[in-house]
Copies of this chain bind each other. A is one copy, B any other.
C-alpha cells in the first residue's frame, strides 16, 4: 500500500469548503495541567464543534464534495456514534437524504440523537456482516453514496482541518497529539501537521485495551481490532487501508495508555478546565502523562476529539 495522494492542498480546500458551516473551535490552555506535565499544552476543543465532535468536519467535507448528481441520491453510512450524527447534520445542510445503518441494540440515546438530526435509521442485526449487507442493500436501492466514518479521503481531508486551524491559532508547536481509533483524525492531522512543518512530531494516544493501531505499526500491517475493551468507545475500530499507510508514513509514535490513565486524564480535564470531554478525547492527555519527561518543555497541541457521553453514568462514579 502506498500513501494516498492527498495532502495539505486537499486539507486547505476542505477548510474552505466547510468554513461557512463549521465552527472555528477555540484553543484553551490550563496552567495547572502545564505544571503537572511540564509541557506547554494547547487544547483544541473539538468538543465544542457542531454535533460535539471533530467528526462534523470530515462528514461535511465529504457531503459538500459530492457532485449535484451524486448528492441528489443522498448519503448512507453505518455508525451509531458521532459520525452518524455528523453525517446527518451535514446532509441536512445540503438538504439531501441521509440513511444511517445501526444495530438494533444501539442505545436509545444514540438512536434519538441521530434521528434528531434528521437521518432515516435502518436497523440491522448487531454483527459486522449484517451491517455491510444492509449498507449495500440501502446503497443499491437508493443509489446513495457511502460515506465511511474514516476510510475515505474526503473524510480524512476534513478531519485534517482541525490541526490546520490549531497550527494557525498556535504557532511553533513542537508536537501534535490525537487519539486513534480508525485513524481518520490521526491521518488527517499527520498530513496537515507535516505538510505545514516537517519538524513537528505527530503522536497518538491509543487505549491499551484497543491497541490495534500500535500493533499495526509494529507489525507493518493492519492488525484488526478484535474484542477491544476500553471506556474510550470512539476508539474501538480497526485502521483502514487508506488511513494505515498515511499513519505509517507520517506518525512518529503511538502511545498505548491504560484505562486508569484515561479516566484520570478525563477527570483532570473536567475538574481543571471545566469542560466536558468524552473518554476517547482524554486519551491524548493520558498519552502526555505516559510519555512523561520526553515532552517536558515542549509546546504540545492536543486535539480534544469530542464531548458526547451519557451524563447519567460517569466513569468515576460507578
List chain A positions with a Cβ less than 8 A from chain B.
26, 28, 45, 47-48, 52, 267, 270-271, 273-277, 307, 311-314, 316-317
Q: Is A313 a contact partner of B317 (Cβ separation < 8 A)?
A: yes
- Distance between A34 CB and nearest chain B CB, rounded to angstroms: 14
Neighbouring B residues of A267 by C-beta, 8 Å: 311
| Closest residue of B by beta carbon distance from A276 | B274
- Distance between A294 CB and nearest chain B CB, rounded to angstroms: 28
Neighbouring B residues of A47 by C-beta, 8 Å: 274
A311 with B270, Cβ < 8 A, contacts A26-B26, A317-B317 known? yes
Q: Is B311 a contact partner of A311 (Cβ separation < 8 A)?
A: no
A316 vs B317: C-alpha distance when bound (angstroms)? 13
A48 vs B28: C-alpha distance when bound (angstroms)? 10
Q: Is B307 a contact partner of A311 (Cβ separation < 8 A)?
A: no
Q: Is B316 a contact partner of A314 (Cβ separation < 8 A)?
A: no
| Closest residue of B by beta carbon distance from A306 | B274
New A-B pairs, 7, CB < 8 Å, besides A45-B274, A276-B276, A312-B317 = A47-B274, A48-B274, A52-B274, A274-B276, A311-B314, A312-B316, A314-B317
In the A-B complex, list the 5 residue pairs whose CB atoms are closest, starting with the nearest. Answer: A274-B307, A274-B276, A47-B274, A312-B317, A275-B275
A249 vs B159: C-alpha distance when bound (angstroms)? 53
Neighbouring B residues of A311 by C-beta, 8 Å: 267, 270-271, 314, 316-317
| Closest residue of B by beta carbon distance from A48 | B274
| Closest residue of B by beta carbon distance from A32 | B50
Neighbouring B residues of A274 by C-beta, 8 Å: 45, 47-48, 52, 275-277, 307
- Distance between A127 CB and nearest chain B CB, rounded to angstroms: 31
- Distance between A276 CB and nearest chain B CB, rounded to angstroms: 4
A47 vs B273: C-alpha distance when bound (angstroms)? 9
| Closest residue of B by beta carbon distance from A47 | B274
- Distance between A246 CB and nearest chain B CB, rounded to angstroms: 29
A316 vs B48: C-alpha distance when bound (angstroms)? 22
Q: List 27 A-B contacts (CB under 8 A).
A: A26-B26, A28-B48, A45-B274, A47-B274, A48-B273, A48-B274, A52-B274, A267-B311, A270-B276, A270-B311, A271-B311, A274-B275, A274-B276, A274-B277, A274-B307, A275-B275, A275-B276, A276-B276, A311-B314, A311-B316, A311-B317, A312-B316, A312-B317, A313-B317, A314-B314, A314-B317, A317-B317
